[in-house]
């Protein structure tokens, strides 16, 4: 698939991703919880280990973490039947999630901060400026900002994929140099890799975007988890001139691999191949 793209452009995008100073990493619920919807300590610690690798490279790291509703579901033992239940579960899960992040980052003597946002915070310039200032201050202090939707108040946000758009909007809004979307599949595939053994990983997305979109909309009828919004988010970011990578959360040292320009996941080429700043 990437043969449609110039190899040099793909390599340049990988390089740009590797050299990013400010990185947004988005982790989905599946990357944090087990089959019973309980927070999975091993998965969470693995994510934090990977983030620590980026931090030890002197990069600024902002995490967009899902998992509030998921972790709440396991903890309360209730179902997410109604919107009200999902909202309530998110409040239980969110504090549990932050407790675990605090513990896990403490292994590296790092502090974390919680930022809960709604669509209004992204749309309103004054609120967004405040958010930006807060994040800048936290980064100056060396504290890791951890962002999620404020699910308790944001009914329209409670549906799969929203954190993909939230992380894309944050990447663009705070001038990050890279968006990494971690998921339980290894990137964008030509089919559903969980079911189709012939599905191939698409190495890079750029001028082949329309073809990739067609492939994805065909395989989405197959119902594989939210790849469409991940692709849309990554595309938004790349249209802004910033590279994005969709990669597998369980792959060993996944963020270190991206930071050393290894060909993992699917890289989205910044439009024109370079940032325009």
Residues 6+ apart with CB under 8 A from 228: 161, 216, 217, 220
Question: Of 29 and 238, which CB lies nearer to ligand GLU in the complex structure?
Answer: 29
Q: Return the bridge partners of 268, or none.
A: 205, 244
* Residue 58 among known ligand-binding residues: no
162 contacts ligand GLU (rule: CB under 6 A): yes
Candidate ranges 53-61, 135-143, 146-154, 177-185; the one touching ligand GLU (CB under 6 A): 146-154
Kindly identify the residues of this chain, within the stretch 87-126, that bind ligand GLU according to CB under 6 A.
90
- Residues 149, 51, 93, 161, Cα dihedral to 10°: 40
Per-position DSSP letters for 128-193, written without gaps between them: HHHHHHHHHHHHHHT-EEEEEE-TTT-GGG-STTHHHHHHHHHHHHTT-SEEEEEESSSS-BSS-T
Which of 66, 170, 183, 242 contacts ligand GLU by CB under 6 A? 66
Minimum Å distance from CB 73 to ligand GLU?
Answer: 9
Minimum Å distance from CB 5 to ligand GLU?
Answer: 29
Q: How many residues bind ligand GLU (CB under 6 A)?
A: 15
69 contacts ligand GLU (rule: CB under 6 A): yes
Minimum Å distance from CB 267 to ligand GLU?
Answer: 22
């Amino acid at each position: 698939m990437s043969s449609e793209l110039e190899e040099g452009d793909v390599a340049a995008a990988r390089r740009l991703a590797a050299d990013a100073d400010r990185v947004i990493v988005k982790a989905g619920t599946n990357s944090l919880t087990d089959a019973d919807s309980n927070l999975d300590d091993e998965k969470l610690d693995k994510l934090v280990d990977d983030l620590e690798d980026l931090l030890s490279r002197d990069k600024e790291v902002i995490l967009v973490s899902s998992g509030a509703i998921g972790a709440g579901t396991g903890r309360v033992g209730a179902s997410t039947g109604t919107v009200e239940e999902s909202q309530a579960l998110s409040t239980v899960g969110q504090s549990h999630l932050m407790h675990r992040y605090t513990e896990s980052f403490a292994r590296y003597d790092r502090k974390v901060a919680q930022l809960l946002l709604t669509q209004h915070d992204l749309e309103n310039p004054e609120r967004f400026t405040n958010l930006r200032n807060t994040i800048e201050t936290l980064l100056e202090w060396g504290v890791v900002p951890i962002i999620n939707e404020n699910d308790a108040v944001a009914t329209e946000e409670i549906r799969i994929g929203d954190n993909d758009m939230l992380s894309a909007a944050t990447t663009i809004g705070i001038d990050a140099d890279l968006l990494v979307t971690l998921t339980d599949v290894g990137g964008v595939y030509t089919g559903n890799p969980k079911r189709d053994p012939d599905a191939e990983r698409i190495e890079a997305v750029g001028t082949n975007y329309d073809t990739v979109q067609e492939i994805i909309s065909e395989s989405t009828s197959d119902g594989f988890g939210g790849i469409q919004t991940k692709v849309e988010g990554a595309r938004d970011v790349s249209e802004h001139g910033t590279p994005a990578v969709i990669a597998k959360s369980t792959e060993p040292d996944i963020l270190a691999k991206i930071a050393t320009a290894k060909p993992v996941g699917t890289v989205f080429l910044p439009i024109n191949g370079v940032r325009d700043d």
